[in-house]
């Protein structure tokens, strides 16, 4: 027994030694760091163990400090407090001294965490970490490479040679990247340097990884949107795939993520009904929990533009209560949102303006420009604030060397009250004008022209300074067009140009340049070309013929959602290319299988455009006038901007009218009677001087004013400028009161909507004659080519039994200028008789 007891004591002693040895070998400092639950505890461990802190301890401590901050809501983070702690400086010094001992993962992680803790990019620690990572760039694991690229992006090094080297590495290893998070991060970081080939390769690889990844990770598709936004490339199939992932994550999205996604969609001009409705409902659910300025600001900006008046009022009331707590950036976000919804809540505007006024010194040039523009468009009255804004904006302009920034500052300054153009503006514009894009040149010209109009002194003297500047703008614009050699880049510059100066000075040159590059028109840029021609209302048959041939040849490569915009120039400007039938056939075949994936309002616009072109695909028409579709359309319209809402409702009415008149076999009911009556009440009943003159002369020609009526409202609510009735001998018949109904806006109505009874109201052999005066809006801007909606109206009036006479403004005006006063009426009357 004693021997056994002795052996047990020996084993026990050995175990104690082993256990003691294990305790000695454990990293107690690391355990203490990992056990910390607050920043102060981390700093306490660091302070007590300075002498024995290893590179692992330093890296772990910095990582834990960032984790504590990351886990807090943004408004509760205390990064500056952490950064100012004395032991944080200890960690920075130790990290800088131990860089060579860090492995690749640790090196990049340490850099990432220090930057997140707001260590200045110019600090020697950050610079040495970046330099060491650059030396190891070729061997960095892909996960570390993506994090390193993110660090460089945060330091605004996205155009640096180092980022170029990362782009090259990613290009070589793209096929081996199997993590959507890594790839999407690298795509965002390298987006400034990608070639079209690498862009397409990124999109192809991303498309595959989005299918295979865990769809709960919605940040991956969000970064894909950011990449597309950065490269200004709206790739519809990829956008729709990302959208499906977002829809599946709606219950998990907070107001900030919805705000970010909605903003990216807007920039990419991607509008999805299902996402808007789901996001709207989710944001409404978040109203009660969004009680702090940070979360409420995101909620307000995302929800207010699509909310009902009742919800919008509630949001404005909450914003009023929180206004005193807003930061400078939150005030900026709210004032832009209020401008978007055209708020007239003066109390709220005053409160936000007060926050802005207190923070004027912290805003950057573009931010202050946005604030000024929003306040101006809201018609906010505060001379003192606008005086300060003008002074600060002028100082910004004096120092700016960035063309886009100079353009924005110039445009905003032109909005503010000022007796004349400032010398600072002209001198700064002259310095950057040679670098300006066509859009910048157009914007500056509009600002200069506004100053000229508002300056009384220019009425009595030659505005040589402004004239010289406008001439310089004109010269630079022509030089830019004449030296352009890439169609894609030119279309990007032309995307947002508008205004009289561009149309008068550069539009013809732009069309010639586009024709010079006509061979570069392909399926990828045909949409932008079509949109430009439509927006400019410029008729150019060679370019439109090229569009038609490309569409017919590559219809399968064109996204179905792009068909509407691609067809617009043909329907709006009433142009039938040689292959017109084939063009419309292939386009209809392209969209028909995807009818149910269209946003409701876009399907209405597409069908209306086809109707203007005298085309009525039965499947499309029946889908739009189904009860289910109209219900979806109503739901969507509630979340759209008022202008889009009204435009869509108007197009639905016009489509309904066109189908009833031209396709009675579809048996679609006319259900817009009440809507049209409301439009009629709100309409402008004014008659122009030209119309008054025509009315008087028609009375003389037809034998009396009682034989002609003005502004007659027909069945299906077309308005005819003048109407008369001719008997079977083509003699005018006077109107009797029993055949007319006078509306409360002095418009003459037939009083019946039945198409079958129209001709029964007239004497045998008689016919109605509609005389319409066609102003300049009825024609393409560069020709006498009549637009599609004018011809559609003529078709419909003829179906209603009218003989239609159209008087173009250029014919009427040419007669007015040509004829002598003493014989004008005789000749004009003769011309009117000839039209009859």
Q: How do residues 638-684 score in pLDDT, each as one tens digit?
A: 888 888 999 999 999 999 999 999 999 999 999 999 999 998 888 76
Residue 119: what pLDDT? 93
Per cent of the chain over pLDDT 90 is 74
Given a cut of 90, whether residue 268 has pLDDT beyond it is yes
Task: Give the per-residue pLDDT at 463.
Answer: 57
Confidence of residue 758 (pLDDT cuts 50, 70, 90): low
Whether 1 has a pLDDT exceeding 50, the answer reads: no
pLDDT over 50 (residue 20): no
Residue 100: what pLDDT? Answer: 93
Distance CA 594, CA 610 (A): 16
In this prediction, residues 600-607 reach a mean pLDDT of 96
d(CA 363, CA 359): 7
Mean pLDDT of all residues in the chain? 88
Residue 661: exposure state from Cβ atoms within 10 A (0-12, 13-18, ≥19):
buried
Q: What are phi and psi of 193, to 5 degrees?
A: -120, 0
H-run or E-run covering 722: strand 719-726
- For residue 338, the Cα-to-chain-centroid distance in whole angstroms is 17
Of 361-370, 399-408, 764-773, least confident by mean pLDDT is 764-773
For 104, residues 6+ apart whose C-beta sits below 8 A from its C-beta are: 136, 139, 140, 141, 144
> What confidence tier does 511 reach under pLDDT thresholds 50, 70, 90?
very high
Give 3-state DSSP helix, strand, coil % of the chain, rounded to 5.
70, 5, 25
Q: Residue range 15-30: average pLDDT? A: 57
Instruction: Please state, as a whole number, how many other Cβ atoms lie within 10 Å of the Cβ of residue 724.
Output: 24
Q: According to the model, what pLDDT value does residue 707 have?
A: 87
Who's near 615: CB < 8 A, 6+ residues apart?
584, 588
State the pLDDT at residue 91. 94
- Please compute the mean of the pLDDT values over residues 182-188 and round it to a whole number: 97
pLDDT tens, 422-464? 788 888 999 999 999 999 999 999 998 888 777 665 555 545 7
- Residue (of 398, 462, 456, 454) closest to 429 by Cα position: 398
CA–CA distance, 762 with 803 (Å, rounded to integer): 14
pLDDT at 14 over 50: no
Mean pLDDT of the region 502-530: 96
The residue ranking higher by pLDDT, 421 or 754, is 421
Whether residue 820 has pLDDT greater than 50: no
Q: Count of CB atoms within 10 A of residue 227's CB?
A: 25
Q: Which of 220-224, 286-290, 527-531, 830-834 is the least confident region?
A: 830-834
- Render pLDDT for 155-184 as a digit per residue (tens, 0 to 9): 999 899 999 999 999 999 999 999 999 999
* Three-state DSSP string of 637-659: HCCCCHHHHHHHHHHHHHHHHHH
User: Please, where are the H alpha helices in 416-540?
Assistant: 423-432, 438-454, 464-483, 487-494, 500-505, 507-516, 526-536
CB atoms within 10 A of CB 323: 21
How far, in Å, CA of 812 to CA of 835, rounded?
12
Asked if residues 547 and 518 have their Cβ atoms less than 8 Å apart, the reply is no
Collapsed DSSP state (helix, strand, coil) of residue 741: strand
Query: What pLDDT does residue 423 have?
Result: 83
Please state the rounded mean pLDDT for residues 761-780: 89
Q: How confident is the model at residue 36 (pLDDT cuts 50, 70, 90)?
A: very high
pLDDT of residue 833: 56
Residues 569-596 have a mean pLDDT of 95
Burial class (CB in 10 A: 0-12, 13-18, 19+), 722: buried
The answer to whether 338 touches 326, Cβ cutoff 8 Å, is: no
| CA 556/CA 548 separation, integer angstroms | 14
Q: Kindly report the number of other CB atoms within 10 A of residue 467's CB atom.
A: 13
Query: What is residue 204's predicted lDDT score, i.e. its pLDDT?
Result: 96
Mean pLDDT of 94-104: 93
pLDDT at residue 78 tops 50: yes
Question: For residue 830, what are the contacts with CB-CB under 8 A and spacing of at least 6?
Answer: none
- Rounded to an integer, the average pLDDT of 349-362 is 96
pLDDT in tens, 705-749: 888 898 899 999 999 999 999 888 888 888 865 444 434 444 555
Rounded distance, CA 642 to CA 312, Å? 14
Q: pTM for this one? A: 0.85
The mean per-residue pLDDT over the stretch 93-112 comes to 94
805: left (phi over 0), alpha (psi -120 to 50) or beta: beta
């Amino acid at each position: 027994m004693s021997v056994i007891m002795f052996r047990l004591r020996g084993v026990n002693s050995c175990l104690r030694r082993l256990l003691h040895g294990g305790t000695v070998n454990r990293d107690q400092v690391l355990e203490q760091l990992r056990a910390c639950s607050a920043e102060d505890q981390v700093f306490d461990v660091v302070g007590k163990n300075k002498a024995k802190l290893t590179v692992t301890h330093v890296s772990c401590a910095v990582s834990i400090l960032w984790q504590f901050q990351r886990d807090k809501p943004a408004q509760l983070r205390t990064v500056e407090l952490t950064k100012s702690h004395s032991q944080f400086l200890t960690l920075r010094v130790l990290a800088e001294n131990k860089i060579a001992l860090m492995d690749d993962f640790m090196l990049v992680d340490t850099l990432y965490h220090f930057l997140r803790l707001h260590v200045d990019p110019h600090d020697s620690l950050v610079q040495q970490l970046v330099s060491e990572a650059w030396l190891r760039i070729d061997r960095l694991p892909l996960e570390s490479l993506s994090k390193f690229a993110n660090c460089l992006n945060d330091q605004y090094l996205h155009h640096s040679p180092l980022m170029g080297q990362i782009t090259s590495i990613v290009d070589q290893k793209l096929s081996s990247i199997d993590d959507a998070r890594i790839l999407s991060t690298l795509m965002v970081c390298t987006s400034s340097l990608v070639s079209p080939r690498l862009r397409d390769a990124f999109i192809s690889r991303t498309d595959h990884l989005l299918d295979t990844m865990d769809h709960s990770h919605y940040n991956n598709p969000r970064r894909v949107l950011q990449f597309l936004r950065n490269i200004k490339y709206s790739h519809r199939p990829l956008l729709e795939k990302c959208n499906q992932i977002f829809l599946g994550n709606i219950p998990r999205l907070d107001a900030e993520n919805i705000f970010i996604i909605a903003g990216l969609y807007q920039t990419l001009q991607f509008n999805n009904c299902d996402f808007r409705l789901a996001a709207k409902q989710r944001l409404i659910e978040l109203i009660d929990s969004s009680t702090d300025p940070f979360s409420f600001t995101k909620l307000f900006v995302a929800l207010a533009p699509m909310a009902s008046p009742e919800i919008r009022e509630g949001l404005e009331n909450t914003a009023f209560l929180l206004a005193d707590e807003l930061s400078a950036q939150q005030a900026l976000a709210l004032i832009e949102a209020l401008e978007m919804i055209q708020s007239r809540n003066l109390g709220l505007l005053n409160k936000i303006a007060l926050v802005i006024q207190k923070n004027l010194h912290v805003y950057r040039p573009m931010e202050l420009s946005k604030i000024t523009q929003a306040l101006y468009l809201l018609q906010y009255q505060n001379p003192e604030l606008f005086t300060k804004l003008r002074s600060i904006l002028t100082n910004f302009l004096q120092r700016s060397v960035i063309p886009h920034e100079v353009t924005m500052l110039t445009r905003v300054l032109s909005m503010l009250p000022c007796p004349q153009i400032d010398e600072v503006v002209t001198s700064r514009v002259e310095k950057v004008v040679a670098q300006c894009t066509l859009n910048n040149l157009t914007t500056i010209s509009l600002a200069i022209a506004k100053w000229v109009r508002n300056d009384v002194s220019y009425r009595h003297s030659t505005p040589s300074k402004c004239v010289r500047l406008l001439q310089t703008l004109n010269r630079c614009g022509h030089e830019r067009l004449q030296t352009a050699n890439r169609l894609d880049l030119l279309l990007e510059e032309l995307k947002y140009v508008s205004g009289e100066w561009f149309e008068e000075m550069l539009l013809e040159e732009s069309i010639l340049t586009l024709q010079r590059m006509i061979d570069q028109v392909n399926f990828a840029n045909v949409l932008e070309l079509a949109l430009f021609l439509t927006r400019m209302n410029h008729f150019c048959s060679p370019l439109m013929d090229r569009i038609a041939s490309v569409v017919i040849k590559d219809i399968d490569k064109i996204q179905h959602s792009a068909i509407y915009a691609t067809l617009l120039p043909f329907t709006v400007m009433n142009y039938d290319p040689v292959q017109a039938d084939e063009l419309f056939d292939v386009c209809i075949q392209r969209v028909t299988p995807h009818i149910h994936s269209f946003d409701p309002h876009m399907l209405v616009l597409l069908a209306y455009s086809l109707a203007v072109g005298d085309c009525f695909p039965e499947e499309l028409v029946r889908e739009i006038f189904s009860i289910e579709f109209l219900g979806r359309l109503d739901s969507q319209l509630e979340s759209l901007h008022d202008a889009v809402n009204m435009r869509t409702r108007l197009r639905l009415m016009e489509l309904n009218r066109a189908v009833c008149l031209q396709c009675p076999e579809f048996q679609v009911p006319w259900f817009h009677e009440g809507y049209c009556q409301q439009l009629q009440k709100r309409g402008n009943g004014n008659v122009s001087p030209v119309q008054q003159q025509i009315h008087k002369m028609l009375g003389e020609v037809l034998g009396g004013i009682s034989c002609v009526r003005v502004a007659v409202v027909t069945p299906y609510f077309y308005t005819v400028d003048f109407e008369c009735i001719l008997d079977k001998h083509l003699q005018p018949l006077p109107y009797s009161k029993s055949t007319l109904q006078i509306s409360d806006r002095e418009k003459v109505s037939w009083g019946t909507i039945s198409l079958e009874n129209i001709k029964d109201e007239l004497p045998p052999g008689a016919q109605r004659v509609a005389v319409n005066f066609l102003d300049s809006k009825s024609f393409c801007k560069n020709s006498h080519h009549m637009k599609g909606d004018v011809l559609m109206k003529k078709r419909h009036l003829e179906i209603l039994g009218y003989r239609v006479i159209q008087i173009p403004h250029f014919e009427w005006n040419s007669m007015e200028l040509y004829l002598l006063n003493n014989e004008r009426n005789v000749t004009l009357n003769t011309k009117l008789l000839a039209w009859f």
